[in-house]
Amino acid sequence: MPNNRSSNQQSSAGSFSLPNFVVSELRSSLLSWYVESGRSLPWRNTRDPYAIWVSEIMLQQTQVKTVIPYFERWMRQFPSIKSFANADLQTVLKAWEGLGYYARARNFHRAAQQVLQDYEGQFPTDLETVLKLPGIGRTTAGGILSAAFNQPLAILDGNVKRVLARLIALDVPPSRSMSQLWELSETLIDPENGRDFNQALMDLGATVCTPKNPACLICPWRSHCEAYNRGVQAELPMSETRAPIPHKVIGVAVIWNEGKVLIDRRKAEGLLGGLWEFPGGKVEPGETIEHCIKREIQEELGIEIEVGEHLITVDHTYTHFRVSLNVHHCQHISGEPQAIECDEIRWVTIDELSAFPFPRANIKIIEALRK
């Protein structure tokens, strides 16, 4: 990448400056573009901070097209902070089922209870207070307060990082220059129209300044974009070098007894905390799937089982690892199931499984059982 930089920008290791007239042009051109090209999204039709909060939490790590039907169902089921805060966590997790990153739902529920208790159900309007709520970081807080109350607060989600990294031709991965990107986002936000500016900036990244094949010819910031002017937009933002993600092989038991199957509820912390699952565990080196299942069920539930035929193998990828669930039909032989490694155990019929919140990978097991 060439080392020449325009006079109004410095190395990514230090600070930067944009002339006032450039900042003004960037604001006005983006807002004009947004009027013509902004996306129509259901949470943009309201100024209710709760509805906007719902959308912001769901949009963490999840694409807009996936979120829209969840958002609409959620607002029908939990139309207010009070109705959500008073709901049982299992009901909340069932409504969240399939969105992943379940800590978001658990933190959101705790935060709603806090708002109901401490602020009489009224979402706070100052940044410092909002940042103390579980599950709300700087970008989420800025997103809610700008969209609901038009506050000129910066955001820095994945789309915005990409747009800003290209705007200044950032020569390191964004994760290594977060303070500079936050400073740039704060410099650019329109002091009179924080709501539309932030929505426009996210839309620009989602629809024009895309990760691959950005549509630079229709970009309102093209003339001021350092990456475009140098012809390096396809190379930016620079990516981190990532190690291959680990692969876990899991043995899973569908344990039958008198027409019912055994499910257990995970402890409330961790990646899938609070969700129900078919019991099992990680296959140890040199261990067969069948032996793993028998051992894990003895350790986790304190019962003897007979491992039967293979039902399904489910491959699923999480952010930092992937799993292969090797699922077998099993028969309960002896012993009373105990919640040794989980919070709760139940024997249920296949028809009753749909009432419980399960991880996405387990839903494929349920579909196989119904067939």
Above 80 in pLDDT, residue 289?
A: yes
Which one of 56, 97, 277, 300 is the catalytic residue? 56
Burial 153-182 (b: 16+ CB within 10 A, else e): bbbbbbbbbbbbbbbbbbbebbeebeebbb
- Residue 56 appears among annotated catalytic residues: yes
Question: Average pLDDT of 24-36?
Answer: 98
Query: Average pLDDT, stretch 31-53?
Result: 97
Percent of the chain scoring above 90 in pLDDT = 91
Report percent pLDDT > 70 for the chain: 96
- Give residue 16's pLDDT: 66
pLDDT of 4 reads 39
pLDDT at position 241 over 90: no
Q: Give the DSSP letter string of 119-173.
A: HTTPPP-SHHHHHTSTT--HHHHHHHHHHHH--------HHHHHHHHHHTT-SS-
pLDDT recorded at residue 179 = 96
Q: Above 80 in pLDDT, residue 3?
A: no
Distance CA 74, CA 44 (A): 16
Q: How high is the pLDDT of residue 13?
A: 38
Please report, to the nearest 10 degrees, the dihedral formed by the alpha carbons of residues 110, 111, 114, 115 taken in order.
-150
Whether residue 2 has pLDDT greater than 60: no
Tokens of 56: 């912001």
Q: What is the pLDDT at residue 15? A: 53
Give residue-wise pLDDT tens across range 246-288: 999 999 999 999 999 999 999 988 889 999 999 999 999 999 9
pLDDT digits (tens, 9 = 90+) for 315-346: 999 888 999 999 999 999 999 999 999 999 99
Integer Cα distance of 39 and 21 in angstroms: 28
Which class in CATH covers the domain with range 20-235? mainly alpha
Residues of the chain with CATH 3.90.79.10: 247-370
Decide if pLDDT at 175 tops 50. yes
The fold adopted by the segment(s) 247-370 is: Nucleoside Triphosphate Pyrophosphohydrolase (3.90.79)
**Start and end residues for every CATH 1.10.340.30 domain found in the chain:** 20-235
Closest by CA to 34, choosing from 260, 219, 181, is 219
Q: For the residues 135-147, what does the mean pLDDT come to?
A: 98
Strands 280-282 and 247-257, by their bridges, are antiparallel
